[in-house]
Structure 1
Amino acid sequence: MNRTVFYLLLILFISCKQEPPKKVSLKDDVSFLAADSLLGRETGTAQELMAAGYLQKRMEKIGLQPKGNASTYFQTYSFKPKTDPHSEVQYISGDSTITGTNVIGHIDNQAGKTVIIGAHYDHLGMGGQGSLYADGEAIHNGADDNASGVALMLQLAEKLKDTLVGSNYLFIAFSGEEMGLLGSNYFSKNPTIDLAMANYMINMDMVGRLREEKTLSISGTGTAPIWNQVLNSTNPGFKLVLSESGVGPSDHTSFYLQNIPALHFFTGQHEDYHKPSDDFEKLNYEGMELIGNYILSIVAELDDKKNLAFRTTKNESEEVPRFKVGLGVMPDYLFDGKGMRIDGITEDRPAFKAGLLKGDIVVQLGDSTVSDMMSYMRALSAFDKGSTAKVVVNRNGEKVEAEVKF
């Protein structure tokens, strides 16, 4: 039997057991996808197939048309895991390969343009590469990363069905993001629609931890000239942190590289990132509703507009310095003040041993002034293992000096 057909039949068999409730909330979707029974939804596992089956049922109930392969909701792809982190993945079938599954639904309004809305549903399984958990194997449920984005995508599908008809809408739950944007990369090169009709892409990855000050990060604002105007005119009160680059560590990158304007919505990293503690009880569901309504207003604003003009952006990832050491902190990527604010500290690492605290703002490292994330990384790149450095932080308005040993 053909390998692809076999996997489609297997997913269909598994999906028969995944029946969502009649009325589904954001919390319902997240709690299913982030349940212990799915063992972290690692790409290529039976548990990822269970999640794919659930997503198929949700798309069916919403009324989305299947837009995968062979008149199904599923687009499968097989690949050989990389041994060299700098090499490109090989999409091939055969022994020692893994099969991932994108889940794709469509609203066909017979329009001349299509909006792509996506979120990855895979996660780290029991840990392994990418995990920040140091105490052995454990289920990484990935509630924020990225059951949150998938749940929001499904809610948007429900709201867009039979409402805005100026565009067609393609909804994609990507597999393989944690292994290197594999599902979105594969779709962008093997699309199930005519990509020439794609107007823009919206990606939601980690949108479940909106903070009290309502800070929302949006990347890709330079990929179309109109983005800043639309984002600001429809903003209901978020504190926006905007980044122009179309290249980043999530699935919007795959579409930007196909010359499609793309945005990535993100509520920031946190201490549970890539750890077993990223559970559904910790998400801000009211905040997710606000973000969903904001995205809906953006889509509505563009519904009767012409196709967006694509624009290339500076690749900020190419400018990131290489460094041999780390402080052992989680930076606050939503901080837009002067310096680098610490959002979390790992025990027994240099920052912890030096007495630095969550909330400290690093303003000097060694002889270098730290004004933002890029200057912090440049300063860090100057040190080797065994080096010592003076670090100055702003702690509640006071300058505190300490010494770190890398």
Structure 2
Amino acid sequence: MLTILHRFSFLILFFCVSCCASVKENAERQDAQVLKDLKVLSSDEYEGRKTGTAGAEKAAAFIADRFKSLGLEHFPQGEDYIQTFQFDDKEGTSYSGKNIIGYIPGKLKEVLVISAHYDHLGKVGDSIYNGADDNASGIAALLQFAAYFSENKPNFTIVFAAFDAEEMGLRGAKAFVENPPIRLDQIKLNINMDMISHNDKNELYVCGTYKYPQLRRYVEDIKDEVKVKLLLGHDDPNTGHDDWTNQSDQGAFNAKDIPFLYFGVEDHKDYHQPSDTYENINPKFYVEAVDAILNVIRNIDNKFSSQIQIDKNKVM
């Protein structure tokens, strides 16, 4: 009997060790992938991804191909995942932008839109503005989250939106909310990421809870479980800090009174400079920031969706 118990205990121990090793290996593989995606998108090959250039076309194809490989569904509008839009800049020059939109059906029809912009400043003279932090970092995280939810079915239906022409006035996000592939009243929240890989103080800001205090709990619930410092702020006009409410693509959703959470770092010396390269990000901070944002999204998908279901039952 003792021998059998020992063997059983050994099997349990072996199983636990194997599972822990597998989880660790999977996490390391995901960290490597998100860093690789950031490095690729911010390489010279993409020429700074300015809207309307060959570099932006290449980035759009990269993102669409990844959406396809992950099995994301696409809306009937547009071609596959590509939704084009037209606009003129301040000088009257016409542009054709491309948003890359895919989704994963959830258990609910209500929608979370997770977004990041893929465009940057392109080439200026002989310099390439690679935009590693701004915003290859957000796009690589977006792809990471799409991979996660393709394997872990969400409660909300999740739309993954890679917006174009943010640097030219949030044009892609504005085009999305003006001609949405779903009803705007289905969108319960926008989670936007713009510059999340470069901070020397281990600080990642979450903007949006000043206007939408009901969202604060989903961040505070997990603050002690993550390795970066999640700070609420840059959305209260009374503090003297820059107000980021409308300074990235979440501004287009805010204009439609759609609640949002925006994740970003404060400006740094490489902001909108040719030196915003992969070599100047903080890799450890970045992978931990991506993990923190995913934890917030998972918390929202579990608890916020449960509250919506409870409210529906009350109505019924």
Report the TM range for the smaller structure's normalisation: 0.7 to 0.9
Partner of 2:306: 305
RMSD after superposition: 2.2
Quote the offset at 1:70 in angstroms.
3.3
Q: How does 1:183-222 map to 2 (within 5 A)?
A: 183-211=172-200, 213-222=201-210
The 8 Å contact of residues 114 and 167 in structure 1, kept in 2 or not, is answered as yes
TM-score by length of 2: 0.79
- In structure 2, distance between residues paired with 1:71 and 1:122: 19
The 8 Å contact of residues 113 and 161 in structure 2, kept in 1 or not, is answered as yes
Is residue 240 from structure 1 mapped to residue 231 from structure 2 by the alignment?
yes
- In structure 2, distance between residues paired with 1:177 and 1:185: 9
Between 1:256-265 and 1:68-77, the stretch displaced more is: 68-77
More helix by share: 2
Is residue 271 from structure 1 mapped to residue 259 from structure 2 by the alignment?
no
**C-alpha distance 197-172 of structure 1, shift in aligned 2 (>3 A):** same
Partner of 1:372: none
Larger radius of gyration: 1
- In structure 2, distance between residues paired with 1:259 and 1:184: 14
- In structure 2, distance between residues paired with 1:70 and 1:81: 23
Quote the offset at 1:251 in angstroms.
0.3
Is residue 80 from structure 1 mapped to residue 88 from structure 2 by the alignment?
yes
* 2:128 partner SS: coil
* 1:157 partner SS: helix
Is residue 163 from structure 1 mapped to residue 152 from structure 2 by the alignment?
yes
The 8 Å contact of residues 138 and 193 in structure 2, kept in 1 or not, is answered as yes
The 8 Å contact of residues 219 and 243 in structure 1, kept in 2 or not, is answered as yes
Runs (4+) of structure 1 moved beyond 4 Å?
none
Unaligned runs of 5+ in 1: 1-21, 85-95, 128-135, 309-406
- In structure 2, distance between residues paired with 1:148 and 1:185: 21
1:77-111 CA distance string (max 9 Å, x none): 11122139xxxxxxxxxxx5210100111001241
The 8 Å contact of residues 215 and 241 in structure 1, kept in 2 or not, is answered as no
The 8 Å contact of residues 197 and 289 in structure 2, kept in 1 or not, is answered as no
Between 1:73-82 and 1:299-308, the stretch displaced more is: 299-308
- In structure 1, distance between residues paired with 2:220 and 2:283: 23
The 8 Å contact of residues 165 and 171 in structure 2, kept in 1 or not, is answered as yes
Which fold has the larger relative contact order, with Cα–Cα distance below 8 Å and residues 6 or more apart in sequence? 2
Quote the offset at 1:69 in angstroms.
2.6
**C-alpha distance 250-204 of structure 1, shift in aligned 2 (>3 A):** same
Partner of 1:154: 143
Quote the offset at 1:239 in angstroms.
4.8
1:12-56 CA distance string (max 9 Å, x none): xxxxxxxxxx98711221122111122111111122111100101
Partner of 1:351: none
- In structure 1, distance between residues paired with 2:123 and 2:64: 24
TM-score by length of 1: 0.62
Q: Which amino acid aligns with 1:289?
A: V
* 1:200 partner SS: strand
Quote the offset at 1:71 in angstroms.
5.1
Partner of 1:126: 123
Partner of 2:251: 253
Unaligned runs of 5+ in 2: 1-28, 237-243, 310-316
Q: Which amino acid aligns with 2:89?
A: P
* 1:66 partner SS: coil
1:327-348 CA distance string (max 9 Å, x none): xxxxxxxxxxxxxxxxxxxxxx
Q: How does 1:349-368 map to 2 (within 5 A)?
A: none
- In structure 2, distance between residues paired with 1:230 and 1:109: 19
Is residue 35 from structure 1 mapped to residue 43 from structure 2 by the alignment?
yes
* 1:39 partner SS: helix
- In structure 2, distance between residues paired with 1:266 and 1:99: 27
**C-alpha distance 248-68 of structure 1, shift in aligned 2 (>3 A):** farther
Quote the offset at 1:68 in angstroms.
6.6
The 8 Å contact of residues 83 and 99 in structure 2, kept in 1 or not, is answered as yes
Partner of 1:326: none
The 8 Å contact of residues 68 and 103 in structure 1, kept in 2 or not, is answered as no
The 8 Å contact of residues 26 and 155 in structure 1, kept in 2 or not, is answered as yes
Is residue 44 from structure 1 mapped to residue 52 from structure 2 by the alignment?
yes
- In structure 2, distance between residues paired with 1:115 and 1:179: 25
The 8 Å contact of residues 201 and 260 in structure 1, kept in 2 or not, is answered as yes
Quote the offset at 1:195 in angstroms.
1.8
- In structure 2, distance between residues paired with 1:288 and 1:164: 25
* 1:139 partner SS: strand
Partner of 2:34: 26
Q: Which amino acid aligns with 2:105?
A: D
Partner of 2:212: 224
